[in-house]
Amino acid sequence: MKELTLKEKIGQLIVTGFPGQDLDEATLRLIEDYKIGNIILFAHNVKDKGQLKHLNAKLQEKITEHTGYPALISIDQEGGRVTRLPQDAVNVPGAMAIASTGRPENAYAAGRITAREMRELGINFNLAPVLDINNNKQNPVINVRSYGDTAEVVTEYGLQMLRGLREGGVLAAIKHFPGHGDTAVDSHLGLPSIDKSLEALAELELKPFQAAIDSGAECLTSAHILFPAIEKNQVPATMSRSIITGLLKEKMGYQGLVISDCLEMNAIQKYYGTAEGAIGALKAGVHLLFISHSSRLVKDAVQRIEQAVRSGELPLAIIDEAVEKVLFYKAKYGRIVGGELSAAEHAVNRRAAEAISLESICHVSGELERVKRNASDTIVIGSLPYRPDQASSQIGMDLSFPAEAGAAFGIPYLVTDINPDEQEQERIVAQVKDYQKVVIGLYNGCDHTGQLQLVSRLARAGHRVAAVAFGKPYDLETLDEGVCGLAAFEYTRTAIHSVIRILGGETPPTGRLSLRH
């Protein structure tokens, strides 16, 4: 490390991304000229396994050639709503779905499967698991990405997922410290604030993180959230020395790698600026800076850090400590990739993921009636999916619960708006008037209340209604008495197929909500 120039050291502390399915010229220039040493992948970088494996091999080759060290290639592969791997890989269910199986070993299996799939493709760094406690139903960005709304559930399942990832051979980042669960603001879009004392945080939000630290967690992601009771300088946790060094490292005993959430998120870029956010994060004790999309902002940050070091504003010792930490984990994970998984191994992984999904489906309320094939008295309705937040994966427009269920049962289906207004609700009620049973797929109806109003209209019109929540299970809390409610947690093809199997009577639902009532 002593032989590295200042620019080379700073390059080791940056993670960036790029817009397409191949390495673009702007990113290549960052690697060659600015010695950027790490990459984050998103769904827009991914076509299929062959393309992704070739891309990652090229990234490793270029970064190793120009920096002298292997790359940390990262991805948000939480499972469920936040998945980036291609469809011909295995994507596991998300956190709340897994916890609703009631079996912590499923979280461990999900971690192992994910790590093996990632390593085969040349990805060595997973930005998961989520250890946030979703104790605010209005949370727009965490919700089903959390294992539940208690410290006990989140700790039990989150640590099993962490263990599976680690034993599978990838670096895993617990997130978002010191907790993103009790917010009603998405830090991608705004700057959340949690006005809790350190004592209150220690009673809830910090418990899963402390347990993970005690179990040897190697990497942790900071949250772009204000905690005014413990940081008086009006900066978010990512930029707070009181939180990152004082609380996390000194009080809680954490010794691993600290990474920032993306510094292009509005919580940083809008209120502080990405380059100043990078300076603040390094001063706070963060080691690795994510600037995930803009090559211009990467250049701005590198130049600002270099200027701060040369002026004495940012001690070189802070840079050296961060570089030493990054290189330690590069030595452990940077060159480790798995070999080809056999067709049989892939099949085992896929069956395991499908089994976990099937176990996760919860029967929450009402009487569950079997949907018979070619039933003339039954129709399936519901909206197409959409991208509910910036963390979620982009949505393939070929995914449709009404169409898939209609085809599976040989019955009619109808696609609705995501938030049907009164006029559309009346039209739909008229269209389904000749059907005794209506199966309706909900997707975050608590955010788009026209869906829930439609369920109520159908029930009051005398239909036997089964409502399936493919997003937040809180949709099911306001159903009319007698409406059957199923929680599926995520609008994915795997979850749809699990629901179809349960609606068809192939297997009873065995999931139990991991939430307090």
Q: Which residues are catalytic?
A: 188, 261
Per-residue H/E/C for 133-199: CCCCCCCCCCHHHCCCCCHHHHHHHHHHHHHHHHHHCCEEEEEEECCCCCCCCCCCCCCCECCCCHH
What is the residue-wise DSSP string for 385-397? Answer: P---STTSPPPPT
Q: Give the β-pairing of 413-416 and 378-383.
A: parallel
Mark out the alpha helices in 361-415 (DSSP H runs): 401-409
Spatial contact of 463 and 480, defined as CB atoms under 8 Å apart:
no
Distance in angstroms (rounded) separating the CA atoms of residues 114 and 89: 9
Torsion angle (degrees, nearest 10) of CA 110, 116, 121, 126: 50
Instruction: Give the C-alpha separation, 132 to 143, whole Å.
Output: 9
Biggest CA pair distance of the chain: 78
Could you give the CA distance from residue 352 to residue 92 in angstroms, rounded to a whole number?
Answer: 9
- Residue 111's nearest CA partner among 133, 138, 130 is 130
Residues whose CB is less than 8 angstroms from the CB of residue 17 and which lie 6 or more positions away in sequence, other chains included: 27, 39, 40, 41, 42, 45, 292, 293
CB 302 within 8 A of CB 8: no
Please state whether 277 falls in left (phi above 0), alpha (psi between -120 and 50) or beta: alpha
User: In 401-510, which ranges are E strands?
Assistant: 413-416, 437-442, 464-469, 484-487
Coil, strand, or helix at residue 434? coil
Amino acid at position 408, single letter: A
DSSP code, position 251 = I
**Could you tell me the two tokens for 208?**
């899963």
> Given the DSSP bridges, would you call strands 289-290 and 257-259 parallel, antiparallel or unpaired?
unpaired
Q: The tokens of 187 are what?
A: 């830090």
3-state secondary structure of 403: helix
**Adjacent-strand bridge partners of 75:** 41, 126
Is the separation of the CB atoms in 248 and 258 below 8 Å?
A: yes
Q: Element (H or E) spanning 62, and its range?
A: helix 49-67
**497, HSE (Cβ side, Cα atoms, 13 Å):** 10
* Contact of 405 with 380, CB cutoff 8 Å: yes
Strands (E), 366-503: 378-383, 413-416, 437-442, 464-469, 484-487
